[in-house]
Amino acid sequence: MEDLTFMSGVILLVLILGLAGMAGFLAGLLGIGGGIVLVPGLYFIFTTLGYESAYLMHLAVGTSLATIIVTGFSSARAHWRRESVRFDLVQKIGIGMVIGVGLGTMIAAQASGTTLQILFAVILMMFAGLMQVRPEKISLFSGRPSDFVLGVAGTIIGAISTLMGIGGATLNVPFMSFCKVPIHKAVGTASALGVLIAIFGTAGFILIGWGNNAGFPPLSLGFVNLAAFAVIVPVSALTAPLGAAAAHRFSKEMLQRIFGLFMVFVAIKMLFEALRVLL
């Protein structure tokens, strides 16, 4: 039994290493947050290895949020040094975002793992469509929106991002582009907002998962797996520059279309798994 447990741990480590490398590479290649890859990847790894818990999807989301604390902070600091962070927007959007993270955490606390899978899959399909849009070509606002609009947008983005286990750049960057914020400022500001989502979201998932870790992989703290966190952060940091270098060899539009199809495939698979449980 001890040998079986040891082998399961080794296989878990190897699979997470591969997932972390892919998440970092794709983040560098497409400029997306790794959470879109990490959450379904972690969930499928946990279930494939036979861990039995109704909260494995919660564990995948919480672990993804934890990794964004480190990776998001590193990204935000780099953008801050280039003066690419709009702190006025961080303040106005961030207030609503923290509220949204709280709402998302409360929804996750009440949702079953299957419900969270379905939510993730449906929103992932929406993201796939969003990636095909050129937000800089669309104008929703003539200038900076009111503080109320920014707060409401932050609340919605914070709630969705928390339920997805992502830093919110997939939504924040297009929203700020719609507000005519220059793209480099939008990306830098989104990275700073992602840290807010990650910190409060991770704390929330640890809290709501406290005492519910039966059937989880080893070293799980609430709905955050510390072993996966320790592997993902350094490995994804090493592979992200490789993806960034490869990005210059291909058309960004082509890459986004290909990844959009990949996202739809993952979403359909997650929906199929969820519906199989329900039916």
- pLDDT, tens digit (0-9, with 9 covering 90-100), for 186-221: 888 888 898 999 999 999 999 999 988 788 988 899
**Which stretches in the chain have pLDDT values below 50?**
1-4
Per the confidence metrics, is the pTM higher than 0.85? yes
Distance CA 189, CA 193 (A): 6
Query: For residue 110, which of 154, 165, 47, 58 has the smallest C-alpha distance?
Result: 58
Query: Helices in 82-133 by DSSP H: which ranges?
Result: 87-110, 113-130
Task: Give me the pLDDT at residue 134, please.
Answer: 65
Task: Give me the pLDDT at residue 29, please.
Answer: 74
Query: For residue 243, which of 34, 24, 8, 79 has the smallest C-alpha distance?
Result: 24
Task: Give me the pLDDT at residue 251, please.
Answer: 73
Distance CA 62, CA 222 (A): 9
Task: Give me the pLDDT at residue 142, please.
Answer: 62
Using DSSP, state whether 75 is helix, strand or coil.
Answer: helix
Query: Helices in the chain by DSSP H: which ranges?
Result: 2-30, 35-48, 56-81, 87-110, 113-130, 147-164, 169-178, 183-208, 226-247, 252-278
Residue boundaries of the structural domains of the chain: 2-278
Residue with tokens 């499928």: 44
Task: Give me the pLDDT at residue 62, please.
Answer: 97
Q: How many other β-carbons are positioned within 10 Å of the β-carbon of residue 104?
A: 27
Radius of gyration of the chain (CA): 18
Distance CA 222, CA 141 (A): 41
Task: Give me the pLDDT at residue 220, please.
Answer: 93
